[in-house]
């Protein structure tokens, strides 16, 4: 399916781009892809968001999830049969060595083959990977944007199968100055000291690993960081959201039952607002070989979805796409997309190192260069990062 609907072309302005080969209908799946590598965020994991170590499928039932996030062990979820986790639970397994949890024997075997056979022992409390993860957690608080676990996983993959190094050539790279700018953004003001601590810890851990030496120089390490920052895709899975989607499609409910169900769901989300706020999902990030070649537009014609409730993504058309039209997604979330041209461009420039000149930015070219009110009200939290 992936090949025929689009081609990958190279342009001077944007580098590689995905371009439609034929008419793509609204809601049509353009591309389906599993990540080359993915990982849950460190704090997300530490706070008890339970996901398969390999594919991020939720490992809590929707009821367990709601009870945990609402801090209320008495909540009972109606229609438990609409919770996919209940039907998958019997397949969940633990690694015999380290006790980490996986959604199936197949996922555990895939993880062992790709990286887990190396990371297994070293991830135990107070063991080397775990200690580095603790350094990382002190540097990078929620909301998390990237993951050291992803880097550790990449190192383990390359050590196990050096040919994986070739795959990294698939992701777009930047110049040295750009690397430092992005690292600054990810780590905040004291980035140089923090980066150097992390870097030293990694050198100690991987000393003598010739195959990894290119990542262990300061330049190589910042470059890897930047490659991940500009190419990775956020992943979110939620057992409660899956349950909500399934019960919303139940045909057999009376009007009264539907109304009660809607009220129940609204109450749960209102409770979450007071307990965990927006931290509802199992969150992480991944690198996808083909999806990472899709450029940004502030008026995108496609979006990313996670319909399988794991790290396998779909790129879906938001409107009809004509042959030879570029397929674009938005690198900004919905809130950010509503902000001024100036704010959007500033964020994209700082995080993805390009000046956006999409259709929407062109339409708004006469707008004054002003930061959106929302940015100012938020203390510019999400869009401006001089002071992270
Ligand atoms: C995830 S990559 C997208 C694919 C990339 N063009 C490539 O060659 O691999 C993100 C990078 O693509 C470029 N890019 C994405 N959207 C763009 C746009 N609308 N205008 C110019 N460059 C863009 C930027 O260099 C950005 O850092």
Q: Whose CA is nearest to atom 21 of ligand 1?
A: 14
Q: Is residue 189 part of a domain?
A: yes
Name the residue of 232, 354, 356, 362 whose CB sits within 8 Å of the most ligand 1 atoms, as the mutation to test its pocket: 354
Q: Which atom of ligand 1 is nearest to the CA of 231?
A: 1
Query: Residue 224 C-alpha to ligand 1 middle, in angstroms?
Result: 17
Q: Do 227 and 346 share a domain, yes or no? A: no
Q: Do 63 and 178 share a domain, yes or no? A: yes
Q: Whose CA is nearest to atom 27 of ligand 1?
A: 352
In terms of pLDDT, which residue wins out, 370 or 150?
Answer: 150
Domain boundary among 199, 233, 267: 233
Domain boundary among 233, 258, 276: 233
Query: Residue 290 C-alpha to ligand 1 middle, in angstroms?
Result: 13
pLDDT at 265: 97
Q: Do 91 and 209 share a domain, yes or no? A: yes
Q: With 70 as the cut, is the pLDDT of residue 64 above it?
A: yes
Q: Is residue 162 part of a domain?
A: yes
Q: Do 98 and 229 share a domain, yes or no? A: yes
Range of the domain at 92: 37-233
Q: With 50 as the cut, is the pLDDT of residue 321 above it?
A: yes
pLDDT at 367: 79
Q: Facing residues of 285 across strands?
A: 39, 234
- The distance from CA 203 to its chain's CA centroid, rounded to whole angstroms, is 26
Q: Is residue 341 part of a domain?
A: yes
Name the residue of 177, 352, 353 whose CB sits within 8 Å of the most ligand 1 atoms, as the mutation to test its pocket: 352
Token pair in block for residue 380: 């510019």
d(CA 179, CA 192): 12
Q: Is residue 17 part of a domain?
A: no
Q: Do 213 and 342 share a domain, yes or no? A: no
| Phi, psi torsion values for 169, nearest 5 degrees | -65, -15
Determine what percent of the chain is predicted with pLDDT higher than 70. 88
Tens of pLDDT, residues 145-169: 877 889 889 989 998 999 998 888 7
Name the residue of 19, 225, 290, 296 whose CB sits within 8 Å of the most ligand 1 atoms, as the mutation to test its pocket: 296
Q: Is residue 285 part of a domain?
A: no
pLDDT at 213: 87
Q: Kindly state the DSSP code that residue 82 receives in the 8-state scheme.
A: G
Determine what percent of the chain is predicted with pLDDT higher than 90. 62
Q: Which residues, judged by CB distance below 6 Å to any ligand atom, belong to the binding site of ligand 1? A: 13-16, 172, 230-231, 292-293, 295-297, 352-354, 356, 358
Q: Do 351 and 214 share a domain, yes or no? A: no
d(CA 183, CA 181): 5
CA distances 281 to 44, 71, 204, 278, 309, Å, are: 8, 15, 34, 8, 11
Q: Is residue 62 part of a domain?
A: yes
Q: Do 344 and 229 share a domain, yes or no? A: no
* Number of separate domains in the chain: 2
pLDDT at 345: 95
Q: Which atom of ligand 1 is nearest to the CA of 296?
A: 16
Q: Do 116 and 123 form a contact (C-beta atoms < 8 A)?
A: no
d(CA 43, CA 51): 13
Q: Do 72 and 218 share a domain, yes or no? A: yes
Q: Is residue 93 part of a domain?
A: yes
d(CA 61, CA 67): 10
For residue 19, name the pLDDT band (cuts at 50, 70, 90): very high
If we measure between CA atoms, which residue out of 105, 81, 107 comes closest to residue 91?
Answer: 105
pLDDT at 376: 54
Domain boundary among 178, 201, 233: 233
For residue 220, name the pLDDT band (cuts at 50, 70, 90): confident
Q: With 60 as the cut, is the pLDDT of residue 385 above it?
A: no
Q: Do 206 and 341 share a domain, yes or no? A: no
């Amino acid at each position: 399916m992936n090949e025929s609907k689009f081609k990958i072309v190279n342009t001077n302005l944007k580098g590689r781009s995905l371009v439609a080969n034929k008419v793509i209908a609204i809601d049509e799946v353009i591309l389906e892809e599993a990540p080359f590598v993915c990982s849950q965020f460190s704090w997300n994991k530490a706070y008890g968001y339970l996901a398969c170590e390999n594919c991020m499928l939720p490992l809590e039932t929707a009821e367990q999830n709601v009870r945990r996030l609402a801090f209320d062990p008495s909540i009972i979820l109606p229609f438990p049969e609409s919770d996919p986790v209940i039907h998958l639970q019997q397949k969940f397994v633990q690694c015999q060595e380290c006790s980490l949890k996986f959604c199936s024997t197949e996922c555990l075997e895939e993880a062992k083959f790709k990286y887990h056979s190396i990371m297994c022992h070293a991830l135990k409390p107070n063991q080397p990977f775990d200690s580095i993860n603790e350094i990382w957690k002190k540097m990078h608080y929620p909301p998390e944007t990237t993951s050291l676990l992803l880097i550790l996983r990449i190192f383990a993959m390359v050590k196990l199968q050096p040919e994986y190094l070739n795959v990294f050539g698939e992701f777009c790279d930047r110049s040295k100055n750009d690397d430092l700018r992005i690292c600054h953004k990810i780590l905040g003001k004291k980035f140089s000291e923090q980066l150097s601590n992390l870097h030293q810890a990694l050198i100690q851990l991987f000393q003598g690993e010739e195959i990894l030496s290119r990542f262990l120089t300061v330049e190589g390490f910042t470059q890897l960081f930047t490659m991940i920052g500009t190419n990775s895709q956020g992943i979110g899975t939620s057992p409660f959201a899956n349950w909500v989607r399934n019960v919303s499609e139940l045909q057999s409910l009376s009007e009264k039952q539907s109304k009660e169900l809607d009220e129940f769901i609204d109450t749960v989300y209102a409770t979450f607002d007071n307990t965990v706020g927006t931290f509802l999902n199992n969150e992480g990030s991944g690198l996808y070989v083909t999806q990472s070649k899709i450029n940004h537009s502030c008026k995108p014609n496609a979006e990313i979805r996670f319909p399988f409730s794991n790290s396998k993504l779909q790129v879906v058309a938001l409107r009809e796409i004509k042959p030879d039209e570029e397929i674009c997604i938005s690198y900004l979330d919905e809130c950010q997309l509503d902000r001024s041209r100036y704010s959007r461009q500033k964020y994209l420039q700082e995080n993805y190192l390009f000046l956006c000149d999409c259709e929407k930015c062109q339409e708004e070219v006469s707008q004054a260069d002003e930061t959106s009110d929302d940015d100012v009200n938020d203390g510019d939290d999400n869009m401006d990062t001089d002071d992270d």
